[in-house]
Amino acid sequence: MDHTISFLDLKKQQKRLGKLLFDRIEAVTSHCQFILGPEVEELEIKLASYVGSKFCIGVSSGTDAIQIALMTEKVGPGDAVFLPAFTYTATAEVPLLLGATPVFVDIHPKTFQIDPTDLKHKIKAIRDEKKLNPKAIIGVDLFGQPAPWEALRQIAFTENLYLLDDCAQAFGAKIGNKRLGNEADATVTSFFPSKPLGCYGDGGAIFTNDPDKAEHYRSLRSHGEGKTRYQVLHTGINGRLDTFQAAILLAKLEFFDDELLRREQIACLYDENLKHFVKIPARVPHSSSAWAIYSILLKSQEERSNVQFHLKKKGIPTAIYYPLPLHKQPAYSHFHTGEPLPISESIADRILALPIHPELTDEQVMKIVQEVSHIKE
């Protein structure tokens, strides 16, 4: 038996999916509709049903999903887009590509989600300065858990701002018994291979309950075309979801709920056995996580380095999400006011992600626990 611990094990997943996966791929090679083939529409229908949204539009990546959503709202030069400083670069780069300015917001110290109190402070500061027009808020469901959507909706309503849900790490997560996908004006997600529902390349989707927006998204993903290929209604992009990736996602979707359950089981094992040694993730109340990432907190950057080094010696991979908050990144720092974002900065110095994927055995999880607890004793 292979006892190697991987941070992500797509080979074992592929073997488990077996014939269903390869039958789906073979069907695409047989009909040869490689661009917007029938699997794309089938996937869109099934994903919309899964999250309880009226429309799903498959696109080429989670980044393009954000871009298409913001382009539809005419986000551009002079606009301010508010987003958490502690997330992946894609969330911030799209506003800049459209000529808008990202405004970085600090996070909650326990959940790592965008902090509504700091968000209100940042919106007021931008309005008082009168240099930018507050336009949109992007909430990120970080690491698989929901952002504080009730508070974000209230702020967006009060301030008359567009609200977008970046659900790239949390597809399948729930608030109560309701899956994410309907908490904002639109929801975007990513199917990058490391995501809970991932394809074998790039892919993404946009969810909406507005038929006019859905039509606009479909147009923008295909160069802004209208009813025919050579009728150009808008300035769009080449953002179509590849048929092969849709086929792979259709196969994976049949196993997805079982995989989410397994991720939850692993998270519970970590919680129960690590809680006396390190700071474990705080659960967002009345929700269930997709557990894209399971991150512990150490006391300092030095302690994190020691734990990571020890685990590597024992053959246990780890990762750091994220070693430098966005407001301190070279590409973005000159857009930031210079105001400290102390929670984002502190978390970035101490966070460490442990393996969490459906192919991990209980034995492997307990091996990881043993080594973390050993160095912390």
Q: Mind listing the pLDDT tens digit for each residue in 81-121?
A: 999 999 999 999 999 999 999 999 999 999 999 999 999 99
Contacts by 256-262, CB closer than 8 A, 24 or more apart: 256/172, 256/196, 256/197, 257/172, 258/358, 259/196, 259/358, 260/172, 260/196, 260/290, 260/291, 262/358
Q: How confident is the model over 348-357, as a mean pLDDT?
A: 98
Please give the single-letter amino acid code of residue 45. I
Q: In which band, very low, low, confident or very high, does the pLDDT at 2 lie, cut at 50, 70 and 90?
A: low
Q: Is the pLDDT of residue 125 over 60?
A: yes
Assess whether the region 10-253 and the region 256-376 belong to the same CATH fold.
no
Q: Is the pLDDT of residue 377 over 80?
A: no
| Homologous superfamily of 256-376 | Aspartate Aminotransferase, domain 1 (3.90.1150.10)
The pLDDT of residue 3: 72
Q: Where are the domains positioned within the chain? A: 10-253, 256-376
Q: How confident is the model over 166-194, as a mean pLDDT?
A: 98
Rounded Cα–Cα distance for residues 196 and 293 (Å): 9
Q: Which of 47, 15, 42 has its CA nearest to residue 28?
A: 42
Peptide bond into 322 cis (omega under 30): yes
Number of Cβ atoms within 10 Å of the Cβ of 34: 11
Question: Phi then psi for 232, rounded to 5 degrees?
Answer: -105, 110
Check: CB of residue 155 under 8 Å from CB of residue 139: no
The fraction of the chain above a pLDDT of 90, given in percent, is: 96
Q: Is the pLDDT of residue 1 over 70?
A: no
Topology of domain 10-253, per CATH?
Aspartate Aminotransferase; domain 2 (3.40.640)
The pLDDT of residue 227: 87
Q: Is the pLDDT of residue 157 over 80?
A: yes
Q: Is the pLDDT of residue 174 over 80?
A: yes
Q: Is the pLDDT of residue 56 over 70?
A: yes
Check: CB of residue 184 under 8 Å from CB of residue 149: yes
The pLDDT of residue 46: 98
b/e per residue 130-139 (b: at least 16 CB within 10 A): eebebbbbbb
